[in-house]
Structures are given as C-alpha cells and as structure tokens.
Amino acid sequence: MSTFGLVWANLFRHRARTLLALFSIIAAFLLFGLLRAVAVAFDGGAAVAGVDRLIVSPKFSIIDGLPVSHQAQIESVPGVAAATHATWFGGTYQTPANFFVKYPVAPREFFDLHDEYIIDPAQLETFERIRTAAVAPEELAAEYGWQIGDRIPIEGDIWLRKDGSRLWEFELVGTYRVRDDENAFAAFLFHYDYFDEARIAQTEGIVSNFVVRVADPERAAEVSAQIDARFENSTNPTRTATEDEASRQFAAQIGDIGLIMNSILSAVFFTILLLTANTMAQALRERIPELAVLKTLGFSDHRVAALVLFESTLLCVLGGVIGIALAWLALGAIGPSLQALLGRIELTAATMLGALGIAVLLGIVVGLGPALSARRLQVVEALRR
C-alpha cells in the first residue's frame, strides 16, 4: 500500500456519498468546458481572420440594414481596396434544427474578399453565371448529402418573395472549403441579384453589412473613421469596425456573453464548493478517532493534515478531469452542428489548464478547514471519543 492507496481508500469509504459529490463536480466541470468553449468561440470568432478587413454595419442596430448603394461610396473612400456586401437571410432548411448561416452575396466580389474560402474557379464561374445558383461549404454538403445539381429549398422567415410565398429554391453548383488554419463562419451562399429581385419591393436594395478590404492594414483605423464620417449625416449612418470587433458587437447585442457565462459558472462553482466542503467536513468528523490512531502510530500533525488536503484535492481533480473529458466528447458530438452559428467550437488548452487550476484550487479551499482541524487534533482527547 502507498500513501495514495490510503487516501484513495479513505475517499471511497462511503461510496454513495463520494460518488454523489463526484457527480456534482463532474457536472460542474462539464458545464465549465461547454460554456467556456462557447465563450471562446464568441470571443474569437473572427480574431483569426484577416486584420486587413473591416465590417461596416448599421450604427444603431443590426436589424436596420444599409442601402446597397453605400457600396459605391465606401469604395470611393481613400485607402479602401475593395468592398462587398452580405445579408443575413435566416430561413429554414427542412426543420429549424437544421441550422446553418445563409448569405446572399455578390459571388466574385465575395470570394475575392474572402481569400480563406477556397473554391474551384470553374464552379465560381458557374455560380456567377446562374442566378439561382448557390455554393455550400464542403462539410455542410456532406452533412446533408447534397450533390452538385441538387435543388435546395429554403423556407424564408425574414424575407418573403414578391408572390407572397416563403419558398426559396437554389441550385447547388459548387462547394468550397475554408483554409484549415481559419476559424471563419462557413455559410451557404447564393446570388444577391436573384434574392434582391425576388424579395418584396419594400425591402429591395437593403443589405446587412459591407465587408471592406483596406489597402494598408496600418491605416485601418483612419479608413474606418472616414467611412463612418461619410455617412454620419445620412439616414443610414454606419459603424465600422474590424471583423473581430464586429463579431463582439454582434454578440453584445445578444448580451454580454462572457458575463453571462461567468455568472453561471460562478454560481455553479459556489454551490459545488459548499456541497463538497460539507462532504469533507462530514467525512472528517466521522474519522476523528482514526486520525488520532495515525498520529499515535507516528504520523505528524502536518502529515495528517496533508492526507486530508490531498483527499479533497484528489476528489476535485478527479471530478474535473472526468468533467472536462465528457465536455470534450460532447463538443466532438455537437460541435459540428454548432459550427455554422459559432464557428469552430472546441476546448482550448487554456480552458483545460484553467479547469485543472480551478479543480486544484477548489480542492484546497474545500479541504483547508478539515485539514487544519485534523492538524490541531489532540491524540489523547480524540482517542477517548
């Protein structure tokens, strides 16, 4: 037997109680892994994309939209190398569960500006030529079993057609992939011109935002200010930001994601702290004569305290490791279906190390009180109990 064996045996002395505490810790760390992965995806959605790109959005709300005529004025701003637009389409493919992002775009401009999206030139040419054409990320096409030539029906929710119907139908003419080192949104793309002509008249000519490439990334802030100045007194003022900032602003319109996640996790860990502390305190109370026996045999006060602390830390680290492992498995299973909304969602090394740190800290905080009590235990008095 080793010291570890002694601690392990003590930990599972009351198997049911320990397992209940362990399950709570596992659940907390599972939640930690999942929420941190989502928060990281929100925080870093476009952080890895080109820093030479800016997003021009409506100044006050993403719902407002901007007139497509802004594009010509944006392109005339000194320092702007190129510009294109994208529009949030929404819509449902078969069932609401089949969620993926859909953008009507100007095909050539869009792919020119997003060089991380790689498409066969012949397919891009077809996409440009056929007005009802669409292209999809390779993973999305594989997920739904789409083949080139398939017709993809989408039921519109934001955008209705002039004839009053909600059904939009597109012909898949190609697929594209996102370069491996990128974490950009991969969207189902179709022709803006077809979309604009077919949608009801009141909404014609409105896009969600513009994507701008600046000639010199060092001058991005200056160009950004000039674009906003250009539209300051118009009926559609703009707010220009880097893609990174824009994704954060988008998330901020839903709410402060980081604050929400951290608030949930703080509440969860505080509850776990109380629960585990109670388990450890109870375990110590039951074991006072045994700790006294250990001291009688020659275990020093510090050594007995260390055994108690080791036990609580082992419990928390064990729960933490299992919880994070389950989060990793869960993200492997659900991550691909969330990718369309959040980009690549995964456990980062920082999240895993953070979890380990929290587990150790939790173990120490939870075990500190019982460990100090064990250290102070008087052998003669304790043996009388």
Task: Output the smallest distance, CB 290 to other proteins, in A.
Answer: 6
Residues 321-380 that bind other proteins (CB under 8 A): 379-380
Among 64, 112, 197, 301, binds other proteins (CB under 8 A): 301
Question: In the complex, what is the shortest distance from the CB of residue 310 to other proteins, in angstroms, rounded to a whole number?
Answer: 13
DSSP string, 167-196: EEEEEEEEEEEE-TT------EEEEHHHHH
Considering only residues 258 to 297 of the shown chain, the ones binding other proteins according to CB under 8 A are 289-290, 293-297
Helices assigned H by DSSP within 114-167: 121-129, 138-144
Single out the residue of 300, 329, 348, 350 in contact with other proteins (rule: CB under 8 A). Answer: 300
Closest contact distance (angstroms) between CB of 19 and other proteins is: 15
Please, which residue, 22 or 345, has the CB nearer to other proteins?
22
Of the two residues 293 and 321, which places its CB atom closer to other proteins in the complex? 293
How distant is the alpha carbon of residue 260 from its chain centre?
A: 13
- Show the tokens assigned to 96: 């609401």
Give the number of residues in contact with other proteins, rule: CB under 8 A.
24
The one among 93, 146, 250, 299 contacting other proteins by CB under 8 A: 299
Query: Cβ of residue 319: shortest distance to other proteins, in angstroms?
Result: 21
Do residues 100 and 159 touch, judged by C-beta distance below 8 A?
Answer: no
CB of 323 to other proteins, least distance (A): 26
Q: How far is the CB of 302 from other proteins (least distance, A)?
A: 7
Shortest distance in whole angstroms from residue 373 CB to other proteins: 15
Q: What is the DSSP annotation of 210-269? A: EEEEES-GGGHHHHHHHHHHHTTTSSS-EEEEEHHHHHHHHHHHH--HHHHHHHHHHHHH
191 alpha carbon, distance to own chain's centre: 29
Beta carbon of residue 363, minimum distance to other proteins (angstroms, whole number): 20
Strands (E), the chain: 53-58, 66-67, 80-86, 102-105, 117-119, 133-137, 151-155, 167-178, 188-191, 206-207, 209-214, 238-242
Q: Tell the residue number behind the tokens 């999206």, with chain if given.
A: 117
Nearer to other proteins, 293 or 356 (CB): 293
DSSP states of 31-51: HHHHHHHHHHHHHHTTTTS-T
**Which of 13, 129, 166, 285 lies at the binding interface for other proteins (CB under 8 A)?**
13
- Residue found under tokens 């498409």: 119
Residue window 37-66: x/- pattern of binding to other proteins, with contact defined by CB under 8 A:
------------------------------
Enumerate the β-bridge partners of residue 50.
Answer: none
Q: Note whether 235 binds other proteins by CB under 8 A.
A: no
For 385, what's the count of Cα atoms within 13 Å in the CB-facing half-sphere?
14
Tell me which stretch binds other proteins (CB under 8 A): 9-17, 25-33, 36-44, 108-116: 9-17
Residue whose structure tokens are 């702007």: 80
Length of the chain as a residue count: 385
Which of 78, 97, 298, 333: binder of other proteins (CB under 8 A)?
Answer: 298
Q: Which residues bind other proteins (CB under 8 A)?
A: 1-3, 5-6, 9-10, 13, 289-290, 293-303, 379-380, 383
